[in-house]
Chains A and B, each alone.
Chain A
Amino acid sequence: METVDLSLVSLVLTFLLLALPVVLSLKFGFGLIKPLFYAVGRMTVQLILIGIFLKYLFLWNNTWINLLWLLIMITVAVFTAVRSSAIKISKVFIPGFLSFSIATFIVIFYLNIVVIPLDNIFDARYLIVLGGMLLGNSLRGNIVGISTFYENIRKDAKKYLYVLSLGASHYEALLPYFRESVQLALKPTLAAMATMGIVALPGMMTGVILGGASPEVAIKYQIMIMIAIVVSTITSVVLTILMTLRVCFNRYGVLRREVFVELKNKSNGS
């Protein structure tokens, strides 16, 4: 089967579909027209730019440029994940960057070396595309994981300190919060995996099939990518939490308030 390329006219015709939500928004006063066009506009511009960029990235296929681009993607992912929590980025950028990098590189290299296996494991088509897929999903997990972990301990400060006063080690006092945040971080990925193929055909698989590959190939890649996503998500969430502990707690096991954005007062523990 050959790929049917979309002409510019076809793409413009796709935008015509937006007339439907516009009419609905006008009729019922959803107020969605502005945000809809803003989002569609941003998506279009960003994808066109990344399309051009990827075209050259694939054309040059230079190991160092590929690695550099992956590191840039990791940096942006860490900034986004930390910004959504109340932690100051300057305090946790390094542990966040390390944990995202370790999780992403372990999984990508395992796929590129062992699973696929590639002659050039730094091939842009795999390194960048797989990296983007993994980072996008790990990012979502990390946003939930880090925020839940630190927010719950701050919210529960009295109980947390009470548990420490009972003689709990730092590990024992943190474990319930750690478990809860990792479970929550994984929940959307696990739910998506459990319904995959029945409720929804995943975007990657749809793209591969529309791109001309057979459903068998698409399914095999989809299974591979989903397992890679769940592994990199759990690894990066666990590593990020563990690696930020030293920065976010003092050696008495008490949260350092100065690490968080809006609370700058000294903890009085009561």
Chain B
Amino acid sequence: MTYQSFDFPGKNKNSMIKFDHVHLAFNGKKILNDLSFEVKRGEKVVVLARSGSGKSSLFSLVLGFLEPDEGQVSFAGQPVDEKSAWEIREKIAYIDQDVSLGDGKIPDLLDFVLKLKANIHLDNTRAQLQELLEYFEFDQEVLTKDIENLSGGERQRLAIIIAVLLQRKVFLLDEVTSALDKQLKKKVADFFITRKDWTCLVISHDPVWLENPAVKIFNLEEGKWKP
């Protein structure tokens, strides 16, 4: 499997995602207040916070869907700005809590995703797809289903498969195990945590992530790492 390089020339190669004194407010309500933390290459970090406390906005800031009111967000040492955001999106795989994959058949969606200019160079995706479908306990016939007829758990697993097929090494995972049963939750968490060269920033309340000794936990409300 070949991975894209995600290094920006001359930038800090050890820092993958960095929030540096970030402030963010919606309609006058403070969401993030002087937030600073860093996720290093290969780390698996779970962000812990109450719902509605702006966890998802962390990902929007990394992807350039939001701009901080103050402070700076960086990816691989490169500040997220109007230009770099487009390159950064080509290097990160993001899965939303309630991922919206549209309608139509799964192969059409895969076709659309893999034919995007940023992904067209990927090879071996067909063989990899078969392996992933098997690993994430899908029947072969799932490929004939309409996306809108998939259950919440099936949609989450499909989004994970797409993210993995993109052969990126940095993952933003927003409650990706919330609709899965216990066994699948563990399988998904293990899948990401055991890959040493993958960097994962995870939003989850799930013990499968939080109780894994390989995971670092960042408490968003306190702005501190959990010892």
Contact = CB atoms under 8 A, between A and B. Distances in A.
A161 to B, nearest CB: 6
Interface residues of B, number: 32
Contact of B56 (A251, A267, A270): A270
B1 interface: no
Question: Which of under 10, 10 to 19, 20 to 34, or 35 or more describes the interface residues of A?
Answer: 20 to 34
A158 B96 CA distance: 9
Given A266-B26, A268-B26, A164 B63 contact: yes
Contacts of A166: 89, 113, 116, 118-119, 162, 166
A180 interface: no
Nearest to B116: A168
Interface in A217-253: 250-253
Contact of B57 (A156, A169, A254, A268): A268
B117 interface: yes
Interface in B79-113: 82, 85-86, 89-90, 92, 94, 96, 98-102, 113
B164 to A, nearest CB: 13
Nearest to B172: A165
Contacts of A169: 86, 116-118
Contact of B89 (A156, A158, A167, A250): A167
A159 B166 CA distance: 17
Interface of A: 156, 158-159, 161-162, 164-169, 172, 250-254, 265-270
Q: Which 7 A-B pairs have the closest CB atoms?
A: A269-B65, A167-B118, A251-B82, A269-B60, A158-B100, A167-B90, A270-B56
Interface of B: 26-27, 56-57, 59-60, 63-67, 82, 85-86, 89-90, 92, 94, 96, 98-102, 113, 116-119, 162, 166, 174
26 contacts: A156-B100, A159-B101, A161-B63, A162-B99, A162-B100, A162-B101, A164-B89, A165-B63, A165-B94, A166-B166, A167-B89, A167-B90, A167-B117, A168-B116, A168-B118, A169-B116, A172-B116, A172-B117, A252-B64, A252-B67, A253-B86, A267-B65, A268-B65, A269-B60, A270-B65, A270-B174
